[in-house]
Amino acid sequence: TMGNWLVNHWFSAAVLAAWLGINIFLFTYYFLFFDRDEHYFYTRAILGSALAWARASAKCLNFNSMLILLPVCRNLLSFLRGTCSCCRRTLRKQLDHNLTFHKLVAYALALLTAVHTIAHLFNLERYNQSQQATDRSLPAVLSKMHLQGSKWLNPIHSNQTTVEYVAFTTIPGLTGVIITLALILMVTSSTEFIRRNYFELFWYTHHLFLIYFAGLVIHGIAGLVRGQTEQSMAEVHPYHCAEYLTQRDQNCTHSCCKDPEFGSIPAESWKWVLAPIILYVFERILRVWRARQEVVVKKVVMHPARVLELQMQKKGFCMEVGQYIFVNCPAISPLEWHPFTLTSAPEEDFFSIHIRAAGDWTERLIDTFQLETPSRIEVDGPFGTASEDVFQYEVAMLVGAGIGVTPFASILKSIWYKFQQADQTLKTKKIYFYWLCRDTGAFAWFNDLLASLEQKMAESGKADFLTYRLFLTGWDTSIANNVALHFDTATDTVTGLRHKTIFGRPMWNMEFAAVAAAHPRSVVGVFLCGPEALAKSLQKSCHQHSSLDPRKVKFYFNKENF
């Protein structure tokens, strides 16, 4: 297990290092190229180093635009998960970091766009100054050349042109403004807060990526930034002829008398992004085809606190614990797809999800099902790596915070089925389950599951297989008074379960010490589905309570990406 952990982290670091390395290489290589190459000698005379900054950032923008779509090709990732049988677990786990990588590339795009835009603003300003200059300086002389033909160097051909005019009337200016706005909207609307509370806003603004890619492909077509042509280089090489340009008179006769000629750099963004765009088009076609397959809603259960449970069947649907599906209800919105973690076990003959009211779409879905079952529900998936690691430990500590409890419904059910069937792959002998929750209403549907598991385990004489502790982190005086009144009852007043609800947050040091004392020679897997702050404190506790002696207790932390 320690080996797995190390390999996982090493692999993540290697992927990150490779991505960073390629970006640094591209930037450095092209920066030096445009800063030194003789074809751009005259271009640099006008623009200075801003030319290299703009071109180097453009190369990195192309590279990251090529990568940005790949992590969101869900079907491609599922295919890779199924085929990577060598070092299977490690690679499959890495594929679960797809959205983290997608965000990382997006931030890189935002940073590079800022560099590229600022560099070009400097370039435009310098083009403008050179065009308006009346002296015999090199930039001024170069700017007045070939104004009537196609061999010019300075794209600003008149003294009346402003930087704003170029930005909003030329193809590179206009597409640059549009794709920058699209990028700003996509990045700002994909924050955690907006995704959780206004998913529709995130969903629709994210489809501006279509405009982003269209603009990117067109952006470089006009070729405003130019270099000296090969033919002109052979005739009047800047290293020999540049000094004569500012001092020539009308009757010039030597070999440097001819004006240098310039041509555009061919647009190449399309070469970078063509393959990912084709892949993504196939991905979307496949999603539409899969969504067309019939889904039968077998059972609809309305739990307290507006939580809707849907039990469904679909031909050929095959799931693992910890996976998720995307759901669409055409009656509400034909375009919107929302992800939900599966709460059924693979051993059951249906698959289920629990939907709580959190945003417009879920509210409308719950209202719709309360009136009648819609004629059509579409399902895409399942996606994500199975959380089979849970079954590899003798002792497992499962921690779910709030709605993060959802994947554990599937895991707890599956463990119970495996336990009943005496499955040889199940090494688990003991499970400690911790659920941290803010309000009592949210307990209800999960309570039913825990109560039925509790009952089944007691009936088969395995009551000690599962120990669970429920922590109510948000509570008021009426709940506290009720608890005080019924303190000596056999079941809990909040949940009706045999194990009492604990008010407040867990004291992790005490919990870990108790598990370590109960299992002095075991390897304990700690699994969390919850916020980052909790992950940090659990990681710290795992470290503190693991014995240095290899024969004694060890805690291994696994944060699941559901």
Burial readout 203-229 (b: 16 or more C-beta within 10 A, e: otherwise): bebeebbebbbebbbbbbeebbbbbbb
Per-residue pLDDT at 234 exceeds 80: yes
| Mean local confidence (pLDDT), 292-313 | 91
Q: Is residue 499 part of a domain?
A: yes
Percent of the chain with pLDDT over 90: 45
**Bridge pairing between strands 262-264 and 324-328:** unpaired
Give 250's pLDDT tier (boundaries 50, 70, 90): low
pLDDT of residue 160: 77
Average pLDDT over residues 10-22: 90
Window from 263-267, 377-381, 476-480 with minimum mean pLDDT: 476-480
Q: Where are the beta strands (DSSP E) in 47-140?
A: none
Q: What is the predicted pLDDT for the residue at 561?
A: 53
In a domain, 215, yes or no: no
Residue type, 533: A
Q: What is the mean pLDDT of residues 129-146?
A: 90
- Rounded average pLDDT over 457-461: 80
Can you read off the two tokens belonging to residue 381?
A: 């998936």
To 5 degrees, how large is the angle CA 269–CA 274–CA 275? 135
Q: Which amino acid is at 180?
A: T
Taking the CA atoms of residue 422, residue 424, residue 430 and residue 433 in that order, the dihedral angle to the nearest 10 degrees is -90
* Residue pair 434/471 in contact by the 8 Å Cβ criterion: yes
Mean pLDDT lowest among 155-164, 166-175, 483-492: 483-492
Categorize the per-residue pLDDT at 240 as very low, low, confident or very high, splitting at 50, 70 and 90.
confident
Whether residue 53 is found in the same domain as residue 126: yes
Same domain, 332 and 270: no
**What amino acid is encoded at 105 in this protein?**
V
- The model's pLDDT over 91-113, given as tens digits with 9 standing for 90+, comes to 666 777 888 899 999 999 999 99
User: In this predicted structure, what is the pLDDT of residue 426?
Assistant: 75
Same domain as 159, residue 75: yes
Q: Look at residue 497 in the predicted model and tell me its pLDDT.
A: 55
Asked whether residue 366 falls in the same domain as residue 420, the answer is no
State whether 111 and 130 are in the same domain. yes
Give the tokens for residue 298.
Answer: 């077998």
Do the domain assignments include residue 189? Answer: no
Higher pLDDT, 245 or 377: 377
Confidence of residue 488 (pLDDT cuts 50, 70, 90): very low
Evaluate whether residue 273 is within a structural domain: yes
> What pLDDT is attached to residue 438?
78
What is the pLDDT, as a whole number, of residue 485?
A: 43
User: How confident is residue 280, by pLDDT bands cut at 50, 70 and 90?
Assistant: very high
Q: What is the pLDDT of residues 308-341, one digit of tens each?
A: 999 999 998 999 888 889 999 999 988 888 989 9
Q: How large is the average pLDDT for residues 444-467?
A: 81
Tokens for 20?
């960073």
Phi-psi region of 381 (alpha: psi -120 to 50; beta: other; left: phi over 0): left
Single out the residue in 266, 286, 306 at which a domain terminates. Answer: 286
Report residue 510 as tokens: 């005490």
The DSSP bridge pattern shows strands 523-529 and 554-559 to be: parallel
> Given this model, what pLDDT does residue 19 score?
97
State which of 338, 354, 383 marks the end of a domain. 383
14 and 99 assigned to the same domain:
yes
**In terms of C-beta distances under 8 Å and separation of at least 24 residues, what long-range contacts does 52-56 make, across chains too?**
53/115, 53/116, 53/118, 53/119, 53/122, 54/116, 54/119, 54/120, 54/123, 54/225, 55/30, 55/31, 55/225, 56/26, 56/27, 56/28, 56/30, 56/31
Euclidean distance between CA atoms 75 and 287, whole angstroms:
8
Does 366 map to a domain? yes
Task: Note whether residue 280 is domain-resident.
Answer: yes
Same domain, 434 and 499: yes
Q: Which percentage of the chain shows pLDDT scores above 70?
A: 90
Q: Across the chain, what does the average pLDDT equal?
A: 86
Return the pLDDT at 62: 97
The whole-number pLDDT of residue 35 equals 96
**379 plus 390 within the same structural domain:** no
439 with 505, same domain: the answer is yes
On whether both 311 and 279 belong to a single domain, the answer is no
Mean pLDDT of the region 542-548: 87
- Residue 460 maps to a domain: yes
pLDDT beyond 90 at 353 = yes
**489 pLDDT higher than 50:** no
Q: Can you give the pLDDT at residue 500?
A: 62
Residue 345 structural domain: 293-383
Mean pLDDT, residues 449-471 taken together: 83
User: What's the rounded mean pLDDT across residues 543-561?
Assistant: 82
Other C-beta atoms closer than 10 Å to the C-beta of 529 total 25
Regarding whether 17 and 93 lie in a shared domain, the answer is yes
Q: What are 367-398's pLDDT values in tens digits?
A: 999 998 898 999 998 887 667 778 878 899 99
Band of pLDDT at residue 187, cut at 50, 70 and 90: very high
Give me the DSSP letters along 525-544.
EEEEES-HHHHHHHHHHHHH
Residue 213 domain-assigned?
A: no
Tell me how crowded residue 233 is: count the other CB atoms within 10 A of its CB.
17
Number of domains in the chain: 3
Q: What is the CATH number of the domain that holds 552?
A: 3.40.50.80
Q: What is the reported pLDDT for 490?
A: 42
Residue 379's CATH number:
2.40.30.10
Nearest in space to 561 (alpha carbons), one of 81, 98, 83, 19: 98
Both tokens of 286, joined, read: 């496949």
Closest CA to 158 of 172, 140, 137, 144: 144
Q: Check residue 135 and give its pLDDT.
A: 86
By CB neighbour count within 10 A (0-12 exposed, 13-18 middle, 19+ buried), where does 541 fall?
buried
Q: Do residue 230 and residue 308 come from a single domain?
A: no
- For residue 531, whether the previous peptide bond is cis, meaning omega lies within 30 degrees of 0, is no
Cβ neighbours of residue 509 closer than 8 Å, sequence gap 6 or more: 541, 544, 545
User: For 232-256, what is the mean pLDDT?
Assistant: 83
pLDDT tens-digit series, residues 44-92: 999 999 999 999 999 999 999 999 999 999 888 877 776 665 555 566 6
